[in-house]
Amino acid sequence: MANMCVVGLQWGDEGKGKIIDILARGFDVVARYQGGSNAGHTVVIGKDKFVLHLIPSGILHEGKTCVIGNGVAVDPVLLLQEIDELRQRGVRVADNLFVSDRAHVVMPYHKALDQLWDQARADGKKIGSTGRGIGPCYTDKMSRSGVRMADLYDPAVFHEKLELNLEQKNGILAGAQGQPLSLGTIQKEYLGYAERLKPHVCDTVELMAGFLRTGKRILFEGAQGSLLDVDFGTYPYVTSSTATACGVSPGLGVPPRHVGHILGVMKAYATRVGGGPFPTELTDRIGEDLRTRGGEFGATTGRPRRCGWFDAVAVRYAAMVNGVDTIALTKLDVLGGEKRIKVCVGYKIGGEVTRRFPANTALLDRVEPAYEEFEGWGEDLSGITRFSDLPKAAQSYVRSIEDVIGLRIEMVSVGKDRAQVIRL
């Protein structure tokens, strides 16, 4: 198939940005289909580091068209900031970036409510929201009260929707001793943002159909990870969108038959940010070492990520939901220095071991991992470019991961830079 979807198979932060950046050179279009500025894709090119929250990673390649689909929650403030920062660093952002006129807009009240709702949750029950307003924006979308990009270009419609929303949202904020938001101020600001974004906003459904009709190769970019998917993740400790490959069609208006090859991205260990069950979490020295060596701090919030051993049960489940064809394995180099490495191959529940990933989040929080152990290695992998040059223990670990998840690994990342990748 000419097209490909890149999707995370864990709790996000798998290194999708780097993989998309590597693959982008072989595609004509890179299209983002869900999530919002709560996601951060990091790309390292030599001494330059780029963190992209809304714009697809393909923007860093000349001649590529980037699309932000209708399934993305667009914060105009942050999108304009991202455009300005890229231009200041010499990256071209002009007629190579398109934003869906059907995409929902993150408004100031969404951010205020996001923080309010997470603060109201009891300790231990917090979702760990980024506070970027993405959840409340999707809530408005589903309750049919949201503001879409197209509305910003019809001042009368925008005024009416904003007035109705503020009547409700200001009431909620007032009840929590929050500051009411001004209709006039927001309207003026957002009409200004709309004017600046006007060259980029269009009917991306029609645009994508044209790309498909003319045989353009499309790389579909997902955000977050499959275990954060609102339907298939560790609910309620999830994001508010469809973070699996299932989100491509509704998020871009692309028929399912055009999605093509599904490439799953996963770390050689596991991490997650915020609350929720994490069966293989390490709260000891090993967990701290993985966090330090792997630079495991959120690209969006800077929060430290929880670290643990690779969870094959969770990844097999995620791969099944996505229909994954092949795998990109990232951060293999971070495991260097550990004498023994563990992989969770099953969950112990009530004295029995299961390979099934349970829907019951409370049950998942109580499972005991059933581990297999592997020999570690001490060598630095960052300069290795051929699989056969990896230490035997590292080769064995990669092949064992393939066996336990039942999928072929086609790419192994051994460092942050786009050049530090091994093709199998």
- Asked if residue 56 lies in contact with residue 19, where contact means CB atoms within 8 angstroms, the answer is no
- In the residue annotation, 41 being an active-site residue is answered as yes
**Contact assessment for residue 404 and residue 31, using Cβ atoms and an 8 Å cutoff:** no
8 Å CB contact between 256 and 249: yes
Helix (H) / strand (E) containing 100 = strand 97-100
- What is the three-class DSSP state of 338? coil
Q: What phi-psi label fits residue 115: left (phi over 0), alpha (psi between -120 and 50 degrees) or beta?
A: alpha
Token pair, residue 336, equals: 């260097």
Which amino acid, residue 340? R
DSSP annotation of 245 reads: G
**Residue 200 annotated as catalytic:** no
**2-34 core/surface letters (b: 16 or more CB in 10 A; e: else):** ebbbbbbbbbbbbbbbbbbbbbbeebbbbbbbb
| Identity at 205, one-letter amino acid code | V
Catalytic residue positions, numbered? 13, 41
